[in-house]
Amino acid sequence: MSETGTPILALEAVGRRFERSIDMAERLLALFGRRPDRRTVHAVDSADLAVAEGEVVGLVGESGCGKSTLARIAAGILPPSAGTVRFRGRDVAGLGQTERLAYTLQVQMIFQDPFASLNPRQTVGTIIGEAPRVHGLATGPAVAERVARVMHEVGLDPSLAGRFPHQLSGGQRQRVGIARALSVDPRFLVCDEAVSALDVSVRAQVLNLFLDLRRDRGLTYLFISHDLSVVRHIADRVAIMYLGRIVERGPAAALFATPTHPYTQALLAEIPRLSRRRRRFTPVAGEIPSPLRPPPGCHFHPRCPHALARCRDETPALRPVAPGRWSACHLNDQA
Amino acid sequence: MTEPSPERPASGAAVTAAAPAVDLWRRFRGDGVAVGGLLVFLVVAAAALAAPWIAPQDPYDLTAIDLFDGRLAPGEESLSGTVYLLGTDDQGRDMVSAILYGLRISLMVGVVGTLFAVAIGVLAGLTAAYLGRWWETGLMRLVDFQLSFPAIMVALILLAILGRGVDKVILAIILVHWAQYARVIRGAALVERNKEYIEAAQNLGFSRLRIMLVHLLPNCLAPILVVGTIRIASAISTEATLSFLGVGVPITEPSLGLLIANGYDYLMSGQYWISVFPGVALLILIVAINLIGDRLRDILNPRLRT
Ligand SMILES: Nc1ncnc2c1ncn2[C@@H]1O[C@H](COP(=O)(O)OP(=O)(O)O)[C@@H](O)[C@H]1O
Ligand code: SF4
Ligand SMILES: [Mg+2]
């Protein structure tokens, strides 16, 4: 269902580099012939991901692999340094001012930190009502009505509109963040670790809120988490990311049942089994390499139990391995 | 600092709906030193503002001054039978009146100079932090360049060129103080601009102007308030120094610094009051302002909160 028709949002060969600035000490050392460390981080490297209207796509990967960077690019907060972002088929880099605003508002981001993502100097009512007021989506008393409506929709008592964020609980704050996003009638929510900072009991409630909103508003989601069990609960399709690259992509059920990429297999083995007596993680063997100097070839080869000789210098491409399933591994060529 | 559990509202004192400003006042009120400093400052400022009505004499009115009353000691009776509480200066001015009018000028110069310097510093610091690129590099180079010279030297050179005058002293204070504010505010704004609520504001399609003024600026107010308060004291002492050195305010509108300078010649001959009483007034003013600023810093700095 997902890969037919024009997707609502498509990332095509999207990349993002960050330049690390060289500080004074390094500049001095460079005078004595010590070359400074590699300066560029390739946070996202040629990622392809299309999301169809109404779909929930999960994005999974270890911390630092570039999920938040990808999320910011998708939401239009951060421009990619390579590749194209298409919203309903159109390159967002070429949009005029009005179309750009429409794209910006229709794709809203929900942030991980429910505290840092709310302006501490604004009341809940202002936080939620500012955008509709500024963009003329509501005027006068209609602003307060709109605020009350979305607050109700996310399960917040509208009487909290006069509170400041520090007077709310973590779960309430995250609901304010969701209400703020809904205030501009988005079609697409990019949720970057949106439940990771919440207590376990609240986490389930907020996840269910996302599912309700999907049903009631027909929302589309890019749902990012380092936690596979959360993604399994909510996603139709899943993409697995490792050191800036998408290494596997496919329908959630199939991907969880028969992971094809060795990294996905390792991640799935890492989910704690409650049935086991010892509740211990079986970690993916080895350290996550520094994104500053990723291993050549397949980034995963130093940790991969199946690594071949060519894995060390040849980057595997993301290729279809079964209907709807894509994988970036040299082992796929041998089958 | 202990992070409250996410499901419980933070800080018990703030559970009732209260604006941050109200919250700040509540904590300020509970601090004895801060309240004491504020009270002293308010009394001094009120006396200075009310000088035309409460001063026994108009020290600018030459007809009201009797040269024969020059350098009378505190409490000494003059030929005309007047008793001057804090004595008179070399021209026969009542010291109480001179100090009240001097305070007026010192405060006015300090506050007005600081307000303008803060305004320029906020503008420069905020835009540098948020807009970045060549604008930030250029502005911050200028700030570094300016701060590499001693402030008093810059002011001295400027006044040597412009001449004396209250307006010129204010200009000099703005010029030597704005860079300090720009640096502090850029630092605060750099921290804030990396927080997610700024990204959220961008995501809601707000203009850069709105993000800077409505989202960034209110969250940089704490350092602006602290540094602004403390720097009023430093602006007042800059003015006093300039006037003491004879390049500040004109002799017809003596500030505290100029009064101290006027009495300096007589200090050795035992006529201490001409210099010392204006000096004490200046000291009280500066200490009070510094105490307020210092306590504000403690109150507003979350890392010092228990
Ligand atoms: N603004 C930035 N400047 C420099 N490096 C960054 C920036 N944002 C992210 N990075 C780097 O990019 C990599 C990916 O980060 P991020 O997208 O936050 O990963 P994740 O969300 O998966 O933990 C990390 O190595 C991080 O240090
Ligand atoms: S390409 Fe090689 S190293 Fe990479 S996952 Fe496949 S087998 Fe492992
Ligand atoms: Mg992240």
With helix as H, strand as E and coil as C, how does B127-153 read? HHHHHCHHHHHHHHHHHHHHHCCCHHH
3-state secondary structure (DSSP) of residue A131: helix
Cβ–Cβ under 8 Å, residues B147 and B180? yes
Q: For residue A132, what pLDDT is reported?
A: 93
CA of A324 to the centre of ligand 2 (A): 21
Over 50: is that where the pLDDT of A8 sits? yes
Ligand 1 atom with least separation from CA of A19: 4
Angle at B158 between CA B152 and CA B161, to 5 degrees: 140
Q: For residue A174, what pLDDT is reported?
A: 93
- Measured in angstroms, the CA of B28 and the nearest CA of chain A are apart by 18
For the entire predicted model, the pTM comes to: 0.80
- Alpha carbon distance B109, B115 (integer Å): 10
* Amino acid at position A289, single letter: P
3-state secondary structure (DSSP) of residue B80: coil
Whether the CB of A298 sits within 6 Å of ligand 2: yes
Over 50: is that where the pLDDT of B305 sits? no
Ligand 1 atom with least separation from CA of A292: 25
The pLDDT of B150-176, averaged and rounded, is 85
Q: For residue B17, what pLDDT is reported?
A: 40
**Interchain contact A170–B (C-beta under 8 A):** yes
**Interchain contact A169–B (C-beta under 8 A):** yes
The pLDDT of B235-243, averaged and rounded, is 82
Sign of the CA dihedral A231, A232, A236, A239?
Answer: positive
Are β-strands A245-251 and A237-242 bridged in parallel, bridged antiparallel, or unpaired?
A: antiparallel
A293 CB-contact burial (10 Å; exposed 0-12 / middle 13-18 / buried 19+): exposed
Cβ–Cβ gap A166/B195 under 8 Å:
no
Question: Does residue A278 or residue B46 have the better pLDDT?
Answer: B46
Kindly state whether residue B305 falls inside one of the protein's structural domains.
Answer: no
Mutate to test the pocket of ligand 2, among A247, A310, A315, A329 (most ligand atoms within 8 A of CB): A329
Residue numbers in B near A18 (CB within 8 A): none
Kindly state whether residue B61 falls inside one of the protein's structural domains.
Answer: no
Return the structure tokens found at B167.
């307006």
3-state secondary structure (DSSP) of residue A327: strand
**Interchain contact B302–A (C-beta under 8 A):** no
The pLDDT of A139-158, averaged and rounded, is 91
Return the structure tokens found at A130.
């500012």
* Amino acid at position A77, single letter: I
Q: For residue A177, what pLDDT is reported?
A: 94
Q: What is the CATH number of the domain that holds A88?
A: 3.40.50.300
Over 70: is that where the pLDDT of A23 sits? no
Q: What is the DSSP string of A167-217?
A: GS-HHHHHHHHHHHHHTT--SEEEEESTTTTS-HHHHHHHHHHHHHHHHHH
- Measured in angstroms, the CA of A62 and the nearest CA of chain B are apart by 21
Cβ–Cβ under 8 Å, residues A121 and B217? no
Q: What is the mean pLDDT of chain A?
A: 86
3-state secondary structure (DSSP) of residue A309: helix
Cβ–Cβ gap B8/A184 under 8 Å:
no
- Alpha carbon distance A59, A57 (integer Å): 7
Kindly state whether residue A138 falls inside one of the protein's structural domains.
Answer: yes
Q: What is the dihedral of CA B49, B50, B54, B55, to 10 degrees?
A: 30
Return the structure tokens found at B152.
């008093």
Range of the domain at A181: 9-257
Q: Which helix (H) or strand (E) holds A296?
A: none
Range of the domain at B240: 13-54+86-300
CA of A66 to the centre of ligand 1 (A): 6
Q: For residue B284, what pLDDT is reported?
A: 87
Domain total in chain B: 1
Kindly state whether residue B2 falls inside one of the protein's structural domains.
Answer: no
Task: Scan residues 14-53 of B and list those with Cβ closer than 8 Å to A.
Answer: 14-15, 17-20
Mutate to test the pocket of ligand 1, among A69, A72, A241 (most ligand atoms within 8 A of CB): A69
**Interchain contact B144–A (C-beta under 8 A):** no
Q: What is the DSSP string of A35-67?
A: PPPP-EEEEEEEEEEEE-TT-EEEEE--TTSSH
- Measured in angstroms, the CA of A69 and the nearest CA of chain B are apart by 12
Query: Other CB atoms closer than 10 Å to residue A285's CB: what's the count?
Result: 10
Ligand 2 atom with least separation from CA of A316: 1
Kindly state whether residue A324 falls inside one of the protein's structural domains.
Answer: no
Q: Which residues surround ligand 3, an ion (CB under 5 A)?
A: A 68
Kindly state whether residue A22 falls inside one of the protein's structural domains.
Answer: yes
Cβ–Cβ under 8 Å, residues A21 and A55? no
Range with the poorest average pLDDT among A3-12, B64-73, B172-181, B280-289: B64-73
**Interchain contact B203–A (C-beta under 8 A):** yes
Return the structure tokens found at A175.
């609901």
Question: Does residue B268 or residue A276 have the better pLDDT?
Answer: B268
3-state secondary structure (DSSP) of residue A84: strand
A43 alpha carbon, closest ligand: 1
Percentage of chain B exceeding pLDDT 70: 82
pLDDT band (50, 70, 90) for residue B293? confident
Provide the β-strand partners of residue A60. Answer: A225, A240
Over 50: is that where the pLDDT of A279 sits? no
Kindly state whether residue B160 falls inside one of the protein's structural domains.
Answer: yes
Q: What is the mean pLDDT of chain B?
A: 79
pLDDT band (50, 70, 90) for residue B9? very low
Q: For residue A118, what pLDDT is reported?
A: 93
Provide the β-strand partners of residue A56. Answer: A221
Over 50: is that where the pLDDT of B14 sits? no
The pLDDT of A240-268, averaged and rounded, is 90
Are β-strands A82-87 and A9-19 bridged in parallel, bridged antiparallel, or unpaired?
A: antiparallel
pLDDT digits 0-9 by tens, A81-111: 998 999 998 898 888 889 999 999 999 999 9
Kindly state whether residue B67 falls inside one of the protein's structural domains.
Answer: no
Over 50: is that where the pLDDT of A277 sits? no
Over 80: is that where the pLDDT of B99 sits? yes
Q: What is the CATH number of the domain that holds B154?
A: 1.10.3720.10
Cβ–Cβ under 8 Å, residues A318 and A329? no
Ligand 1 atom with least separation from CA of A70: 17
Query: Which chain B residue has the Cα nearest residue A107?
Result: B203
- Alpha carbon distance B138, B117 (integer Å): 19
Which protein residues touch ligand 1 with a CB less than 6 Å away? A 18, 41, 43, 61, 63-69, 291
Q: For residue A85, what pLDDT is reported?
A: 92
Q: For residue A59, what pLDDT is reported?
A: 94
pLDDT band (50, 70, 90) for residue A232? confident
Provide the β-strand partners of residue A49. Answer: A11
Q: For residue B12, what pLDDT is reported?
A: 38
Percentage of chain A exceeding pLDDT 70: 87
Of A111, A166, A170, the CB nearest to B200: A111
Percentage of chain A exceeding pLDDT 90: 40
Kindly state whether residue A133 falls inside one of the protein's structural domains.
Answer: yes
Cα B130 vs. chain centroid, distance in angstroms?
27
Half-sphere exposure of A210 (CA within 13 A, CB side): 31
The pLDDT of B10-32, averaged and rounded, is 62
CA of A78 to the centre of ligand 2 (A): 31
pLDDT band (50, 70, 90) for residue B227? confident
- Measured in angstroms, the CA of A209 and the nearest CA of chain B are apart by 17
Cβ–Cβ under 8 Å, residues B75 and B94? no
Mutate to test the pocket of ligand 1, among A38, A60, A68, A242 (most ligand atoms within 8 A of CB): A68
**Interchain contact A99–B (C-beta under 8 A):** no
Q: For residue A248, what pLDDT is reported?
A: 93
pLDDT band (50, 70, 90) for residue A139? confident
**Interchain contact B218–A (C-beta under 8 A):** yes
Q: For residue B262, what pLDDT is reported?
A: 75
Range with the poorest average pLDDT among A97-106, B200-209, B223-232: B223-232
Task: Pick the most confident of A4-13, A83-92, B13-22.
Answer: A83-92
CA of A21 to the centre of ligand 3 (A): 21
Biggest alpha carbon distance in chain A? 68
Over 80: is that where the pLDDT of B22 sits? no
pLDDT digits 0-9 by tens, A199-217: 888 888 999 999 999 999 9
pLDDT band (50, 70, 90) for residue A223? very high
CA end-to-end span of chain B, whole Å? 6
Cβ–Cβ gap B218/A162 under 8 Å:
no
Over 90: is that where the pLDDT of B150 sits? no
Cα A24 vs. chain centroid, distance in angstroms?
35
Task: Scan residues 200-229 of A and list those with Cβ closer than 8 Å to B.
Answer: 202
pLDDT band (50, 70, 90) for residue B97? confident
Return the structure tokens found at A267.
């991640």
Kindly state whether residue B79 falls inside one of the protein's structural domains.
Answer: no
Residue numbers in A near B19 (CB within 8 A): 164
Q: Tokens 């040299």 — which residue?
A: A330
Over 70: is that where the pLDDT of A270 sits? no
Kindly state whether residue B80 falls inside one of the protein's structural domains.
Answer: no
Mutate to test the pocket of ligand 2, among A331, A332, A333, A334 (most ligand atoms within 8 A of CB): A331
Of A34, A33, A37, nearest to A20 by C-alpha is A37
The pLDDT of A67-79, averaged and rounded, is 92
- Alpha carbon distance A91, A57 (integer Å): 21
3-state secondary structure (DSSP) of residue B245: coil
Q: Which alpha helices (DSSP H) does A218-300 contain, by range? A: 228-234, 252-257, 262-270
Over 80: is that where the pLDDT of B250 sits? no
Q: For residue B272, what pLDDT is reported?
A: 73
Kindly state whether residue B260 falls inside one of the protein's structural domains.
Answer: yes
- Alpha carbon distance A83, A15 (integer Å): 6
Q: For residue A239, what pLDDT is reported?
A: 94
pLDDT band (50, 70, 90) for residue B260? confident
Question: Does residue A187 or residue A307 have the better pLDDT?
Answer: A187
Q: For residue A124, what pLDDT is reported?
A: 93
Angle at A59 between CA A10 and CA A287, to 5 degrees: 130
- Alpha carbon distance A168, A206 (integer Å): 15
Cβ–Cβ gap B17/A170 under 8 Å:
no
Domain total in chain A: 1
- Alpha carbon distance B64, A287 (integer Å): 87
* Amino acid at position A99, single letter: E
CA of A130 to the centre of ligand 2 (A): 49
- Alpha carbon distance B82, A75 (integer Å): 80
The pLDDT of A161-182, averaged and rounded, is 91
A41 alpha carbon, closest ligand: 1
Return the structure tokens found at B283.
């000291």
B163 CB-contact burial (10 Å; exposed 0-12 / middle 13-18 / buried 19+): exposed
Over 70: is that where the pLDDT of B297 sits? yes
Range with the poorest average pLDDT among A10-24, A244-258, B12-26: B12-26
**Interchain contact B206–A (C-beta under 8 A):** yes
